[in-house]
A and B are shown apart, each in its own frame.
Chain A
Amino acid sequence: MNNPTDLRYAASHEWIRLEGDIATVGISDHAQEELTDVVFVELPALGRTVDAGDPTAVVESVKAASDIYAPIGGEVVEVNPAVEADPSLVNTAPYGAGWIFKLRVKNAAEISSLMDAAAYTAHIS
């Protein structure tokens, strides 16, 4: 799968889509492939404030639990109940229905520290 060019990526394999001051966050196709079968997603509490790099959600495979970090600071304003009900969405649609949470960002300029699709593709290859 190609990494969509309208997203930004963290070195720790989260992606972010910024629309106005709302950032949608998920994990990359590469990350879901590395994790294999996602069997559980722990979502953050609504209203929680996080800084860039804070562990914000947990994605678990049969073998391991992995922290998902906020790529950018903000307040959790929405979580995806669909991945709680069907964690395999993280595997089958990592850039779509498998998104994990949304943040109202504090400082949209932070996004410039994240990679674009070409840089991320180079990062994982």
Chain B
Amino acid sequence: MTEPGEPLTLRFVISEIKHSPLEAAHVALGARLVSFAGWNMPVQYSSIIDEHSAVRSACGIFDISHMGQFIVSGPTAGQWLNRLLTNDISTLGLGEGQYTLMLNEKGGVIDDMIAYRSGETEFFLVVNASMIDADFAWMAERLDAGVLLRNDSDSWAAMAVQGPDSAAIFTRLFPNDTLPPRNGIMRTAAGCIVCRTGYTGEDGFEFFAPAAEGISYWDLFLAAGVKPCGLGARDSLRLEMCYPLNGNDLLPDRSPIEAGLGFFCALEKGHFIGRDTLALQKANGPSTKLTAIRYLEKGAPPRSHYPVLSADGAVIGELASGVLSPSLMTGIAMAYLPAEFSKIGTLLKVEVRGRLFSAEVVKKPFYKK
């Protein structure tokens, strides 16, 4: 048997391994740690299926300290961000957030993130771990005079608390604080940042504590009965919701229109980097679409890079992401396919080690409450 414990993705391999401020807690819990986006992170504690189920039915907690936090401030910070990001940041009221993307000049995705208006002229951005340096460099090169950009990533220990019980647990633990509404941001009396968002499809919040206080908050959530969950369950939960993972489902040569994220691209707000490509694709319809694929039979779990074939056996693409869905107990995947193969009900085949498994195109998301 080959030793298990392969990282979920090896796309971003860097030499210096980074360590979460919560790492000692993971080791004490017996987690299996793997290299993910250059970070030594827990992939699972007990069982991915158990952890996944805890988030769907109760509450789980993920270490997301690897993710990046940028602070952008200044009287023209909003206008500047609006030229770099796809969504319209001017629509955010104080304490509100939005999903948005940063594109290259060709309209391909550099990164996806959530941007919050944390002050009248201050924004809090949460970006992907693998892209912290690249995002920062891209933004710094284009910085306007009068706008301040700060990488705050090392200051915070970050946890995602997710599941139907998460709001009740927050209220019990922080009786003097009020959880913000969906996509909102607030600061607790003790100086932590709480964002009502997540990557699982369940109610929940992301909790940012000063790095040195991280483990005490982690332990507080665990003592309240929240189950520690690793990146394995985080991946299966997000894929059941068709939430994209940058590097797998979002790529520098694919646009958010092709990825099905046109809702988060405010073409009417005026110029932003990549807009011309999006406008053209929106007008003509994209020739390639990120398509949701579900197995029609019991088969080997789908994984990224497996070939996708049309019903008559021609290779038409490869899987961007795939997993055996713990909620649906069947294979689910996403792939960029020619638009003519992306219609719901289209029959396809997924090839695993030379064997073909029948599948069909389904409506997003895979999992509905």
Contact = CB atoms under 8 A, between A and B. Distances in A.
Contacts of A46: none
B4 interface: yes
Given A62-B236, A65-B301, A36 B46 contact: yes
A73 B4 CA distance: 24
Q: What 7 A-B pairs are tightest by C-beta distance, nearest first?
A: A62-B48, A13-B1, A36-B47, A37-B49, A66-B2, A63-B232, A39-B324
Interface string A54-86: 000011111111111100000000000000000
29 contacts: A12-B2, A13-B1, A34-B4, A34-B5, A35-B4, A36-B44, A36-B46, A36-B48, A37-B47, A37-B49, A40-B301, A42-B300, A42-B355, A58-B300, A59-B1, A62-B232, A62-B236, A62-B323, A63-B4, A63-B44, A63-B48, A63-B232, A65-B300, A65-B303, A66-B1, A66-B2, A66-B3, A66-B4, A67-B1
**Residue among B1, B324, B326 with the highest chain A CB neighbour number at 10 A:** B1
Interface in A1-35: 12-14, 27, 31, 34-35
A81 B301 CA distance: 18
B299 interface: yes
Interface string B32-54: 00000000000110111100100
B8 A62 contact: no
A27 B1 contact: yes
A13 B6 CA distance: 17
Contacts of A58: 300, 353
A40 B303 CA distance: 13
Given A36-B44, A37-B47, A62 B324 contact: yes
Contacts, number: 65
B239 to A, nearest CB: 11
Contacts of B43: 63
Interface of A: 12-14, 27, 31, 34-37, 39-40, 42, 58-69
Interface of B: 1-6, 8, 43-44, 46-49, 52, 232, 236, 299-301, 303, 323-324, 326, 353, 355
Contacts of A27: 1
Contacts of B353: 42, 58
Given A12-B1, A36-B46, A60-B300, 5 more contacts: A40-B301, A62-B232, A62-B323, A64-B5, A69-B1
Nearest to A69: B1
A27 B2 CA distance: 11
A12 B6 CA distance: 15
A68 B2 CA distance: 7
Contacts of A62: 48-49, 52, 232, 236, 301, 323-324, 326
A42 to B, nearest CB: 6
A62 to B, nearest CB: 4
A31 B301 contact: no
B324 A40 contact: yes
A53 B30 CA distance: 31
Contacts of A67: 1-2
B55 to A, nearest CB: 14
A77 to B, nearest CB: 21
A13 to B, nearest CB: 4
Contacts of B52: 62
B324 to A, nearest CB: 5
Nearest to B43: A63
A60 B301 contact: yes
A119 to B, nearest CB: 17
Contacts of A61: 4, 48
